[in-house]
Structures are given as structure tokens and as C-alpha cells.
A and B are shown apart, each in its own frame.
Chain A
Amino acid sequence: MNSVLYTNIVRFILLVSLQVLVLNHVNFLGYLNPYLYILFIILFPIKNSRPLFVFLSFIFGLTIDVFLDSGGIHAAACVSIAYVRPVILKFCFGTVYEYQTVKFDTVEFSSKLLYITILTILHHIILFSLEIFNISKVILTVQKTLFSSIFTIILCILVTIIFSRKTK
């Protein structure tokens, strides 16, 4: 249990600093940044108390917000995906999730891809619609959501592959 705690604390600090200090300066094609930090929510242990998880996600998003001067958009997006995560887990992993035995290193690649994709797109839709906050700029919102999502998904997959424990 303790190792899980430490892993998540380290992950919290690492992902925040990585996001704030490196990834927000990528600005690919002028405006595209990957939001890798949602890996914290994606990889959070399945066996958890839901209120704690939602609250932690809020704190996490708010930390990002403080660094990026963005009000509460990251917090809002993080809380939402943390809230709907169990539903998506059930949808993607089916019975494996019912028995609470999902291990992200061992699940099938296709269902993992689906899971990350759904969470990322959901997160980005909320993030960019709150950031731009203007119905007349719907096209810009969709454009940003789509391209950033692709960027984020690729990075998330890569990171999970590189850092997965191939012991079993």
C-alpha cells in the first residue's frame, strides 16, 4: 500500500513539473501542446475510494492551473474525467474490471488505447471549450481539441509502453 502511495506522490510531482516546464513550451505548429499530465488520472489505482480520487484529481488540476494562470479549466476537466472514469473502465475492460483486477501493464493493447482515447478526448473537449468559452469559435475549439488529443494520445501510449513493467 505504501509503495502505491509513494508512486503516486512521485508521479504527481513529476507530471506537474514535466507538463509545466517542458510540455507547455512545445507549441507545435504555433498552438499545439500535449497534455500528458492526465496520465496521473489514467493510471491512478483502480481500487480507491471514489471521493478521494475525485478530490485528488481536483487538487492535481488546480496545481496545473496555478502554474499556467488558467483559472479553473484544468481542474474542471480533471474532475470530470475522474468522475466518469469508472464508467469508461467498465466499458473498455468489461469483466476484468468487474473483478477489480485490471493491471494497466497486462491488459490488451486495443482496450488500453480505447480507454486512453476516450478519457483524453473528453478531457480536451472540456478543457478547450472552457478555455475559449465562446460558441462563435466552435471551429477553433474542435480544431484544438482534435489535434491536441492526437498529440496527447500518442505521447500517453508511448510513455505507458516505455515505463511498463514487463515482468509477467
Chain B
Amino acid sequence: MLFLLLFSISLTFTIQTHSYHKSKFINSANFLTGGVYNSISNINRYFDLEYQNKILIEENSKLKSILYNKKNKKDSSYIDNVSFNHPYKFTTASVLKNSYSSSKNVLLLNKGIFKGIKEDLGVISSKGIVGIIDNTSKKYATVISVLNTTSKISAQLKKTNHFGTLTWNGLSPYFTQLIDIPKIAPVKVGDTIITSGRSSIFPKGVPVGIVHDFKLDAAENYYEINIKLFNDMTNIEHVYVIENVDVNEITNLLKSSTNE
């Protein structure tokens, strides 16, 4: 009897994790596990310091080249009022726990509600997309990585606006799959895939990866594209959490239009 009871409890927990945003009780964004991972990560990050520095330098040089090569420099008084003109707010965070071997991979970040991290915010690294915030506690937050079979993110081809859904088949941590791209889209091997900005989680244009190979699905109406990620998901340390300030306005607007 006890066995059946406990087994069904654990099954319930398991099934909850399969549906998006339902895993409320069992997650590592709590005081105990967050604390343990935090102290271990404090030690571990020293071993990776050189590589992470290199990544940051690369990003810096990229940003500098954009900054100094910009043709029409704007009035500095205009740049000052950051919060009004830019709907996206960025927060930096460090990854405390990363996994890529299971089929439902979750990351743990070292910032939570106190730093303004909320559910459903997008997470990117300097190279590209990482995932979406799932659970938050006061000081920690968990991220559903793109390497999670329940993750669904809207992405598109860079050169045309054909969009599809980014999913993962659970096999390689270096590849994800883009499905529901219409047959008419001009897909070629080597094309860049970016986020579409349709979901108001990610801004448009966050790099995802390049087309590795593609084939038509069973119904022969849509492409299934294998994407090689720009990000090395097996080695992530510094990430940015993106908050879209206008997200409430957008969802309300969409809701009111669909209700009519």
C-alpha cells in the first residue's frame, strides 16, 4: 500500500515536469540545493576562468566593433533615457548548475526574485540562445534549457521571415531541431537561424545556430531542420536574462483581439 502511494506520488511529480511550467515543488531553486550548488560553483568556476575570459573578450571586441563602426552617431541626450526607448531589460547571471545528458535539462542561475528575475523571461549567452526561466525563488532561478524536450521556442530563418518552432529530440547537446518551417521557404545548409521575436520572450534576432541538414516531414508540407547551435551548451558560465518591459501590454492586446 505504502509502495503504491509513494510510487504514485513520484509519478505525479514526474508527469508534472512533462507539462510546461508545472514543476512547482521539486526544483533546485530552493535554499538548500541552491546553497550547495552555489558554494561548489564558487570553487569550480576558477578552473574555467581562462575560457570564460576569452568568451567575454570576444564579445567585447564584437560590441566595440559595432560601436565604433556605427555611421550615424546619435545625440547623446537621446541615448541617456535608456528605459523608455528600449523595451528589453538585461540582467547578468551566472550558471550554478548545468546538465546536458538527460532529456529534460535544467540550469540553475544565481539570481532570483530579489534581482527582478521572473518566470518566462528569456535567457541568452554572448553567443546565442540558452533557454527560458521556469521557477524562481528569492535568490535562485531555474532555466528550461533549449536542450529540454518540453521546450518550445519560436525561431525563424534570418534571410526570410519563415518561422517555426525550436524543439529538441534528446540526442546531441550540440544540435536542436526546427520544425514547422513551410515547404516554400528557401532553406539551405549553412543558413543562420535567429529567434523570431513573436513570443515576446526573446527580442527578434538572437542568434540560435546554423542549418546543418534538413528534410521534409512525414506529411511533406513542412521542413524539419537540424540546427547546429552557436552556443556550446556543455560549457556556459555567464548568461543574460532578458525582460521585455512591454510583455503585459502585448499579451493583453493579443487576448482582447482573440476574444472578439
Question: Which A residues are within 8 Å of any B CB, using their own CB?
Answer: 17, 20-21, 24, 27, 30-33, 51, 54-55, 58, 61-62, 65-73, 75-76, 79-80, 83, 130-134, 137, 140
Q: Does B214 contact A (CB under 8 A)?
A: no
Q: How many angstroms between the C-alpha atoms of A55 and B9 in the bound complex?
A: 12
Q: Which of B23-31, B125-133, B196-204 contacts A (4 or more CB under 8 A)?
A: B23-31
A55 near B2 with CB under 8 A, answer yes
Specify which chain A residues have a CB less than 8 angstroms from the CB of B100 in the assembled complex: 27
A30 near B102 with CB under 8 A, answer no
CB distance from A51 to the nearest CB of B (A): 5
Residue of A nearest to B27 (CB): A69
Specify which chain A residues have a CB less than 8 angstroms from the CB of B33 in the assembled complex: 66-67
Choice from B3, B17, B40 contacting A79 with Cβ under 8 Å: B3
CB distance from A134 to the nearest CB of B (A): 8
Q: List 9 A-B contacts (CB under 8 A).
A: A58-B10, A65-B13, A66-B27, A69-B108, A71-B16, A72-B12, A72-B14, A75-B13, A140-B171
Specify which chain B residues have a CB less than 8 angstroms from the CB of A20 in the assembled complex: 36
A58 near B142 with CB under 8 A, answer no
With A21-B40, A76-B11 already in contact, the answer to whether A69 and B28 are too (CB < 8 A) is: yes
A67 near B2 with CB under 8 A, answer no
B99 near A51 with CB under 8 A, answer no
Q: How many angstroms between the C-alpha atoms of A72 and B15 in the bound complex?
A: 8
Specify which chain B residues have a CB less than 8 angstroms from the CB of A58 in the assembled complex: 6, 9-10
With A27-B101, A71-B16 already in contact, the answer to whether A140 and B9 are too (CB < 8 A) is: no
List 19 additional A-B contacts (Cβ < 8 Å) besides A71-B104, A131-B102.
A21-B36, A24-B101, A27-B101, A54-B3, A62-B26, A65-B26, A67-B28, A70-B102, A70-B104, A71-B17, A72-B9, A72-B14, A72-B17, A73-B14, A76-B10, A132-B170, A133-B14, A133-B18, A140-B171
A66 near B30 with CB under 8 A, answer yes
B171 near A130 with CB under 8 A, answer no
With A31-B101, A33-B101, A66-B33 already in contact, the answer to whether A55 and B14 are too (CB < 8 A) is: no
Choice from B3, B11, B37, B102 contacting A83 with Cβ under 8 Å: B3
Specify which chain A residues have a CB less than 8 angstroms from the CB of B14 in the assembled complex: 71-73, 76, 130, 133
Instruction: Classify the interface of chain A: helix, strand, loop or mixed.
Output: helix
Question: Which B residues are within 8 Å of any A CB, using their own CB?
Answer: 2-3, 6-7, 9-18, 23, 26-28, 30, 32-33, 36-37, 40, 99-104, 106, 108, 142, 149, 170-173, 234
CB distance from B149 to the nearest CB of A (A): 8
With A54-B2, A69-B26 already in contact, the answer to whether A131 and B101 are too (CB < 8 A) is: no
Residue of A nearest to B7 (CB): A79
Interface centre among B32, B99, B172 (most CB of A within 10 A): B99
B103 near A132 with CB under 8 A, answer yes
A140 near B170 with CB under 8 A, answer yes
Q: How many angstroms between the C-alpha atoms of A75 and B7 in the bound complex?
A: 8
CB distance from B8 to the nearest CB of A (A): 9
Q: How many angstroms between the C-alpha atoms of A140 and B101 in the bound complex?
A: 12
Q: How many angstroms between the C-alpha atoms of A71 and B27 in the bound complex?
A: 7
Q: How many angstroms between the C-alpha atoms of A72 and B12 in the bound complex?
A: 7
With A130-B14, A132-B103 already in contact, the answer to whether A69 and B7 are too (CB < 8 A) is: no
Interface centre among B18, B23, B101 (most CB of A within 10 A): B101
